[in-house]
Chains A and B, each alone.
Chain A
């Protein structure tokens, strides 16, 4: 049972345009969501997060939107840059302190930004 799903395996975008990566979840207990970025042969690095009490969080070029009723979140990158080309993972955790930070990951979306 895939509790966090990223249905688009890949996304190709022109430099300067907007990249939108999507993520759906099924577990209503998830209350914290994170996006990680991963380059080849490296570990995932934290990008941005959002608590379930918010519907938007912004950090520079990166904005995450959360729609709790639809159990859907999205990551917007504006403007996209070639250095943004990487695999993006959506992750979720449940239960606040009792979850001990355990994360459930989506399958990842490969983003390619063309110059």
Chain B
């Protein structure tokens, strides 16, 4: 059981470039989330989804976009990378019944 899988694990982007962080889960969870963690800070919610075709903004959505075409996949898109987006990004999923969220291993992104 792979759980939540994120790719890539590391990435360096130049300012203005774009990229997609991939996230897939094999637990058939309806709820999925993207968080970012800055140094010395807690995780902050970027976007979340309660099912295929349904997404909504979290606390810090500016500069990001998401889509949820299938239950398994929840990619996060950065269109114009900025240094402020240097962070570690975590994808998570949860069933509608349980309250425990399962996290991926994270993507460390540096924008230079």
Residues of chain A touching chain B, judged by Cβ–Cβ distance below 8 Å, are 4, 6, 9, 32, 34, 36, 41-46, 49, 89, 91, 93, 97, 100-108
Given A44-B90, A46-B100, answer yes or no on A102-B48 (Cβ-Cβ < 8 Å).
yes
Instruction: Collect the chain A residues with CB atoms within 8 Å of residue B100's CB.
Output: 34, 46, 49
Tell whether, in the assembled complex, residue B48 and residue A100 are in contact, meaning their CB atoms are under 8 Å apart: yes
Give complex CA distance A108, B42 in Å: 6
Contact of A103 among B4, B50, B101, B104 (CB under 8 A): B101
> Do A106 and B105 touch across chains, with their CB atoms under 8 A apart?
no
Interface residue count on the B side (C-beta < 8 Å)? 25
Of chain A, the residue at the smallest CB distance from B38 is: A107
Q: Closest 6 CB pairs between A and B?
A: A105-B42, A43-B103, A105-B43, A46-B100, A101-B94, A107-B42
Of the candidates A34, A49, A102, A107, the one having the most CB atoms from chain B within 10 angstroms of its own CB is A102
Tell whether, in the assembled complex, residue B105 and residue A89 are in contact, meaning their CB atoms are under 8 Å apart: no
Q: Which residue of chain A is the closest to B94 with respect to CB atoms? A: A101
Chain A residues near B75 (CB, 8 Å)?
none
Given contacts A89-B42, A100-B50, A108-B42, 14 further A-B contacts (CB under 8 A): A34-B100, A36-B103, A41-B106, A44-B43, A44-B103, A46-B100, A97-B96, A101-B94, A101-B101, A102-B58, A103-B43, A105-B43, A105-B44, A106-B42
The secondary structure that dominates the B interface is strand
| Identity of the chain B residue whose Cβ is nearest the Cβ of A43 in the assembled complex | B103
- Whether the Cβ atoms of A101 and B42 lie closer than 8 Å is no
Bound: A114/B65 CA distance, A:
44
Q: How far is the CB of B97 from chain A (nearest CB, A)?
A: 10
What 0/1 readout, one digit per residue, does chain B (26-53) give for beta carbons within 8 Å of chain A?
0000010101000011111100101000
Cβ of B84 within 8 Å of any chain A Cβ, yes or no, is: no
Task: Give A32's nearest chain B residue, CB to CB.
Answer: B99
